[in-house]
Structure 1
Amino acid sequence: MFTSDKLRLSRRQVLASGVAAGALSMAGMPAFGQSSQINWKKYAGTKIEVNLIKSPRGETLTKFQKEFEELTGITVVSEQTPEQQQRQKAVIELTSGRPSFDVVHISYHVQKRQFEKGKWLADLTPFINDPSLTDAGYLNDFAEAGLAFAKNPEGGFGALPFSVDYWIVYWNKELFAKKGLSFPTTFDEMVKAAVALTDPANQTYGFVARGMKNANTPVWTSLMLGYDQYSVDGGNLLTDTDGAIEAAKLYQTLMTKAAPPGVAGFNWAECQSAFLQGKIGMWFDGVGFAPPLEDPEKSRVVGKVGYGIMPKGPKAHAAATTGDGIGVTAASKNKEAAYLYCQWATNKLMGARLLQAGAGVPFRNSVLADAEVRKGVKMPAEWVDAVAGSAKISRLTLPVIIPVTEFRDVLGVALTNLISGGDPAAEMKRATAEFKPILERSEKA
């Protein structure tokens, strides 16, 4: 791909070479494909369909889609669908063997094992090793975590690593200041701050996170990490252990004593909307949801937002981590053209755009290490610090199992019941008993 010297071409040099100004990122990186030996026009005239998750990352790909079309001559028809609907649509179509799309945006932390078992993705290894399709050393720039996510059990690549998402605590500095509070450093301090910030008479609440069934499960498993525990370890289900129950109690406390009314129906979008209004003290979710918070046209908290690393739990300090990839369907009749789109989606320039806009964190090491790229980050320096700090204590938040959707559904019902006053120990034991045979069947298969 690009060398570090080429990454630092001046704007005048790039313009002189005939590259459009609109193809530049804020860091002055050259347009993708400029230094490549690949014949990007090889599949000109081809049309591909792309299935994306509606998110800041999907929106970034759509925003710059025309750039790829001009580079390759390939026509792209893309669709963005809300996360849960996108996953359902993808599974239904891929199971049929006749998906309407050639490229699919995959949530590694939810879909990896399921996609591998179904053999729904094309093996990209031959394309990666083909010098007419991929530059030498292409994979050398990806973080090990991304490569581990992307590799299938046979050692091939079913998708290219796109972005990593660390879960952080967004906090309203103005509300904290009014109460004379500092950002919490432990779980206990987080609860105390959340309760202190809550004032229903003024419609102000100390904490918000996902309460909707299925969407709420990673909130709880993230809290479990603070008790130094995973939900599944070595094929063993650990969701009714002392650590799991304590995490459930903590979830219940935060969501009943400090969250706004109706939180049981909140996914990330509802949480973000509530925080944007300036009436929420803390919001716990992925780092990639930050851009609207600093947009004056959408936010009442511009300049008031703090970006904090997850506070320490009783037994561990951990930042919950999820990740996205982008791959080619095994049923696609345009695999090479679709693969070129995946390359473009994961290139350094796109990674810089994600980082600079606060829309996500790329798996590309050179992007994160590039001082010029960091200068162009729109988000406050505190956001970048939260990314860097979270990376040091990163742990996967969801189990890498095939029935992860069922896991989220079953445990998600239990968590929603907690918001209605359910007993944490009873709900976790019931849900564990319900899900255990599902996991056992999956592991045997």
Structure 2
Amino acid sequence: MTKDILKPTRRTLLRGATALGAAGAIGSPLVLREARAQAAFNWKRFSGTTIDVLLVKNPRSDLMQAAEKEFTELTGIKVSAEQVPEQQQRQKAVIEFASGKPSFDVSGISLHVQKRMAAKGKWFEDLTPYIKDASLTSPDFNFDDFGAGPVAYARQADGSLDTIPFFVDYWMVYYNKELFAAKGVEYPKNMDEMATVAAKLHDPAKGIAGFVSRGLKNANVPVWASLLLGQGIETTSPEGKLLTDTPEAAWAGELYKKLNRDTGPAGQVGFNWNECQTTFMQGRAAMWLDGIGFATPLEDPTKSRIVGKVGYGITPPGPKAHHAGMFADGMGISRGSQKKQAAWLYLQFMTSKAQQIAMLKAGAGAPGRASAYLDTDTISQSKFGKQYFECLLGSAKVARAALPQIVPVTEFRDVFGVALTNALGGADVAAELKKATETFAPVLVKSEQG
């Protein structure tokens, strides 16, 4: 009996030979590389992992959190995501990345504010190796589907791609079609006409402002910068020279002041986008200049009083050019994360074709993927009408970065935000911009040297 137990069977010998053969094959570097290259992608590979995600509070983050259950069912990865208001989220990101041990594995950032800062501080992983790794990247991901413009916006100066540009925000004008029709007013044909139209629609006695936009310092700068694009220039030249103390910048500042001081709601100097959104969807403003990504609640009957009455207009042309201010958000994997590969699966899922279409369908903004705009069935079934999509596509054709791509963007917004706030209080626009330019110039020089 003992002899039978010790005697190897033919099946045992074959199994042992197979195991030895496999071990020998894996020991070969060439075969090892080929085996890895041919490894099948598996969504369940990191099942049981929990990842932490830092998001900005907005409609797109709502969509991501709503999709977490599906992601967990697909991957077995649990998600602990936190939405933080924009300004606080940026501060939190800066502090935690500076510590070298951020509490999150994935973070969203505003490319128009934090792109250069992220590169300088080495916040994120370069995603290029992940995209090229067939064992980590789903064959359905198709990174080439992301538009050239958004990808170029996300790519750093050294060629690395440390965030996926999942959202591009074009600034446009939301307008109340019912208020326009009641006064027999047409959509403004140019920026100067915006002020004329706003004055006609301004009716404080009925609690209606002709125009609303961000008045809160720092948050107000993109409004002014978007108007400046109508002069065919940005706040800085391609060489990095400030163009903020110029007749063109003063013109944009005067228009900003006129629109908000003369035809804005009471207390507008303290408004950020959320106060503007609330005012507009309550029917208390005729026009609102801001990003197209804030449309979702406007067509929600549980939140809005103007469902079906919202007009979506491309930012009117200025005296010298026609541009729509462009902003963008990206998502990246923290270099300090211990769960980078699981985090990459989260990024893939949340920036997939299906999720990008969901963003477009919900009116939460312009997706970075080109294929989303080709999904005619989804568009035709959307609660947003034809004009919304025409505005989105038309804005994309004339889009131009509204904020300078510099490291101290937050300081830029702080300094010039104070100038604009002072202007709303009655100060001279040109004098305020001159003072702000003189204050900020050495900050910019120092940042470039560092």
Give the SS at the match of 1:193.
helix
- What one-letter code is carried by the residue in structure 1 that aligns with 2:266? P
1:328 corresponds to: 333
Partner of 2:117: 114
1:376 Cα deviation after fit:
3.1
Output the amino acid matched with 1:44. Answer: S
* Structure having the higher Rg: 2
Partner in structure 1 of residue 19 of structure 2: none
The answer for the alignment partner of 1:381 in structure 2 is: 386
Aligned counterpart in structure 2 of residue 86 of structure 1, from 83, 86, 89: 89
Q: What is the aligned counterpart of 1:396 among 391, 397, 401?
A: 401
- % same residue: 53
Q: Which structure 2 residues correspond to residues 147-166 of structure 1 after superposition, within 5 A?
A: 147-166=151-170
Q: For residue 296 of structure 1, what is the amino acid of its counterpart?
A: P
Aligned counterparts of 1:308 and 1:88: Cα–Cα separation in 2 = 33
User: 2:228 aligns to what?
Assistant: 224
SS at the partner of 2:338? coil
Q: Please list the CA deviations of residues 381-429 of structure 1 after superposition, one character each: whole Å capped at 9, or x if unmatched.
A: 1111110110111111111100000000000011111110010000000
- TM-superposed CA distance for 1:146, in Å, is 1.5
Aligned counterpart in structure 1 of residue 306 of structure 2, from 289, 297, 301:
301
Q: CA deviation at 1:378?
A: 2.2
**Aligned partner (choices 411, 416, 424) of residue 419 of structure 1:** 424
Distance in 2 between residues matched to 1:104 and 1:230, nearest whole Å:
28
- Quote the residue 1:254 is aligned against: 259
Query: 1:302 Cα shift?
Result: 1.1
SS in 1 for 2:223: helix
AA partner of residue 371 (structure 1):
T
Cα RMSD, aligned residues only: 1.2
2:204 aligned to which of 193, 200, 204 = 200
Counterpart in the other structure of 2:241? 236
Q: CA deviation at 1:37?
A: 5.4
CA contact (8 A) 2:105 2:340 kept: yes
SS at structure 1 position matched to 2:215: coil
Q: In the alignment, is residue 131 of structure 1 matched against residue 134 of structure 2?
A: yes
Deviation of 1:132 (Å)? 0.3
CA distance in 1, matches of 2:192, 2:110: 32
Inter-partner Cα distance in structure 2 for 1:205 and 1:155: 46
Question: What is residue 311 of structure 1 aligned with on the other side?
Answer: 316
TM-score using structure 2 length? 0.89
Point out the structure with the larger helix share. 2
Give 1:135 deviation, angstroms: 4.1
Partner in structure 2 of residue 30 of structure 1: none
Q: Provide the TM-score with structure 1 as the length reference.
A: 0.90
**Matched position secondary structure for 1:226:** helix
SS at match of 1:232: coil
User: How does 1:341-380 map onto structure 2 within 5 Å?
Assistant: 341-380=346-385
For residues 367-387 of structure 1, give each alpha carbon's deviation from its aligned partner in whole angstroms, at most 9, with x where no partner exists. 112222322322111111110
Residue among 266, 288, 310 paired with 1:283 = 288
Opposite residue 114 of structure 1, the aligned amino acid is M
SS at match of 1:175: helix
Q: In structure 1, give the amino acid aligned to 2:313.
A: G
Aligned to 1:26: none
1:185 aligned onto 2:189:
yes
Compared with structure 1, are the counterparts of its residues 105 and 423 closer, same or farther at alpha carbon in structure 2 (3 Å cutoff)?
A: same
Matched, 1:267 2:272: yes
Q: Secondary structure at the match of 2:286?
A: strand
Instruction: Say which SS state the counterpart of residue 192 (structure 2) adopts.
Output: helix
For residues 180 and 37 of structure 1, the distance between their equivalents in structure 2, rounded to whole angstroms, comes to 63
Structure 2 residue runs of 5 or longer lacking an equivalent are 1-38
Cα shift at 1:444: 1.7
Aligned to 1:175: 179
Q: Kindly state the Cα deviation for residue 154 of structure 1 after the two structures are TM-superposed.
A: 2.2
SS in structure 1 of the partner of residue 167 of structure 2? strand
SS state at 1:229 partner: coil
* 1:98 aligns to 2:105 (yes or no): no
Amino acid in structure 2 at the alignment position of 1:56: P
Aligned partners of 1:235 and 1:443 also within 8 Å: no
Query: Which ranges of structure 1 fall in alignment gaps of 5 or more residues?
Result: 1-35
Whole-angstrom CA distance in 1 between matches of 2:432 and 2:85 = 29
**Distance (Å, rounded) in 1 between the aligned partners of 2:143 and 2:354:** 15
Count of residue correspondences: 410
Q: Distance in 2 between matches of 1:312 and 1:72?
A: 47
Residue 420 (structure 2) pairs with residue 428 (structure 1): no
